[in-house]
Amino acid sequence: MFIEQPPRIYRILFPGAIWRMPSKNKCVYLTFDDGPVPGITPWVLDLLNQYDIKATFFCVGDNVRKHPAIFQLILDQGHRVGNHTFNHIQGIRFRTKNYIDNIKKANGYIHSRLFRPPHGHMRLLQTLLLRKQYKIIMWDVVTRDYSPHMTPNGVFNVVKNYTRNGSIIVFHDSLKAETNMKEALPRSIEWLKREGYEFKLL
């Protein structure tokens, strides 16, 4: 549970970050990290279009630089985008100035006030500085679709077992997650709809 749904003690390490959205209605917030990636992000967009769902894509700046047409497709289809650094780097492994500079570089391509740190790791000072300019979006449910130790059914079960009202759910439109995500995502959407969840944008 510590990974799939971080406990309160972990969440307080990132003051001001958003982990779950307050809502009186039964709803979830579907998000995708690490794209845009050819062949994968367009597949996700087609699936979301089939179900008339809008989502938020936290993009890696260098991927946007390399695949601007796919990034534009995300925007054209009415989805929201967020910053996921330029090189998918972890804040705890970099000096604060270098980390902030990497995020600024990504923002030159992404132009969003939403930010999600790769792997959810940042130093306290980085968090405090970033929240002055960005809305830091974490998650309530991370599917772990990227893990080679997970199966598509395991990913689907994470969604079933941990989703609750207001959950921010993370999938990945990446090569590492492709096999798990492509099977688990449509099953998850079908289950969420059957359970009466509405899909909302951050």
178-194 and 41-50 helices cross at what angle (nearest 10)? 20
Alpha helices in the chain (DSSP H): 8-11, 41-50, 61-66, 68-76, 96-110, 124-130, 152-162, 178-194
68-76 and 41-50 helices cross at what angle (nearest 10)? 10
Cα first-last separation, the chain: 24
CB atoms within 10 A of CB 194: 8
Task: Please list the active-site residues.
Answer: 33, 172
Using an 8 Å Cβ cutoff, are 84 and 58 in contact?
Answer: yes
* Measured distance CA(183)–CA(179) in Å, rounded: 7
